[in-house]
Structure 1
Amino acid sequence: MLKKFIKNKKITVVDGDNRLGTTSGELKRKLQDMLSNGMNIKGIQIFHYASIHYKTRWNSYSLRFLNALVNSAASIKYEGDVLSLDDREEPELQRDTSEILAIGLSNMFMCKWYGININKIGKIPGSNKRCDYRFQSNNRLIIYEVKGRKDGIKAALRDCLKKKQGYSADLMYSTICHLPRDGSSVSLHLFDPPVNDHYEYDEYYTMLNHYRNLCEKVGLTILSNQIYKRIKAFEESGDWGGTSLEVGNVIKLGTNITLGNRVFWTRTILNNNEIVPFHIQFGLDKRVIEILEEWNLQKLKEISFIEEVYERDGKLFSVISDGSLFYMGNESLNENP
């Protein structure tokens, strides 16, 4: 099963309402390239890009996410160069897997298109009437709604339009992933329906919520709690503060994993073969941990890491731009791989 996650796949990208005609410069070039050639991915990256937005504690991962991951793995077709799904998954389970596949593909698409770090993308809090995600690029606020559908996209687009009515942004996209279960190609459809009202945005707020959630997954619960306190203080005062965080010796409680010249800190996220037939772990680059502890927000804003996906001795690794590690394998990362 794990071999499916490392194989190169291509996603068809469709311009739903002439976004290419409204863009220019590097954005236009990148979009044209993906429209012409598709978006190249590896399966493990889909779940890496999706998983960071599912809340969890380090020893109790979201069963909704895990079940969808396993069921998606069973339905991804290994053959061929395009990402496609078969119908082996039970129909009642397809809703959750469609959501997670769509989130992962859409987040990855936005990062590739706008050339941004995943830590710049934040989930908009609130009820289901709110839009899904937001980020800032060149002082422009961008909001996007994500949908995943097995059959057709028109109904999904109508729902996106309803959710966007209470927003104002420089750009507001809908990314609708068509996920047929008949073996035909998966595709991502890009739209830009109109918006109206203003929604306040703070780039540090987005990044710090991102790393607060990521630290929970990695097992840095004290650091996560300290970040949360700063976030709550900012919500009351509008000031991020400038002093270092008080985290004690929490790093000594985990495991350091060395990959090349990079060191990641990790704890086992899941070790229960009754739920999934392999281990899943998150890690975080120690340089990011140090920046968070120092509370150097400007430096945090500037960091960006080279993405890597590779296999080593039956272990699958994904490292993306925020400095996070996503691991899948038959054993836990309790020693240097």
Structure 2
Amino acid sequence: MSRQKILSVVGARPNFMKVAPLHRALDEREGVDSRIVHTGQHYDEEMSDVFFRQLGLPEPDVYLGVGSGTHAEQTARVMTAFEEVVFDEEPDVIVVVGDVNSTVACSLVAAKCHVPVAHVEAGLRSGDRDMPEEVNRVVTDQLSDYLFVTEPSGVDNLRAEGAHDEQVHFVGNVMIDSLVQFRKKAQQRPIIEDLGLGGADYALMTMHRPSNVDHKEPLTEVVQMTRQLADRLEVVFPAHPRTQNRLDEFGLREQIEAPGVHLLDPLGYLDFLRLMEEAAVVVTDSGGIQEETTFLQVPCLTIRENTERPVTITKGTNELLSLDPEAVVKRAEDRLGQARAANGRPDKWDGHAAERIAEVLLGEG
């Protein structure tokens, strides 16, 4: 009997936490040849290596090394390189995760090569087509044969867009699978002690979305927000490379490097997970962090006008705020005085989403 070959695509760091548990769930089954294709969309190769090691992922079977560029340039390079992989590997299924450019690029190639596509994190919608991720999500779902959904809103969105019920599978959240698996290991990391934060309240902060960092005016607001937060509590800010580049470009680095602000290079998964779990409050514009803080029941202030993950608001500790330094600092102070919510975790966020996906792909259910 021939082995079923499944290619899982990763392109940027958030993808690694999603593919790692799925690869393990597939790899432990007989008759499955699970392979990982790393497009190299994320240009920080050293950090990619750190994530692969910490998540227990093997070296990618294929590394495309497409690098950065405009959305069109990057998507085109991924498509050209990935088409050769599909011809060489002849996979039975191609798994794409999330909403980065690699996700939509590999979905397009797979569809044109008549290979079934499985989209993990299908159906998430912000309703904001100005976000490139939203366009990637919509297009990928239209091309996919298997639609694996993390929360009930995803099922509703896909049905409204015409997806067939047999395509849609509510399986839970594979990112939470990784969190559950590595939570105890992360608690052993010395990052808090290394930063001199033992026993102190601190805010954990990330900012990377173009609307918040790509222009001087909003990034200046981010700097002001950071400094004002640091007047109240320590701020740990692992800054995305795009954010660091803009701080230098706009001459804002000296302003943000104030007392109480720990401006860091990007961190590995385990260090970031420990910082997130023990933070007094998290301030972010990330999608995945909204989910992780919901599971951990850590207060999260998301600096965006919308979210594609509404369960993090209705079930979790997340709330949306505009980029208004005074308002954000005031809300952070309010959250410091509140007990952590205990609303319960979203359905099927239990550490077993990858197993449910594998069962569907292999016809075990």
TM-score, scaled to structure 2: 0.28
- Name whichever structure is richer in strand by fraction: 1
- Name whichever structure is richer in helix by fraction: 2
TM-score, scaled to structure 1: 0.29
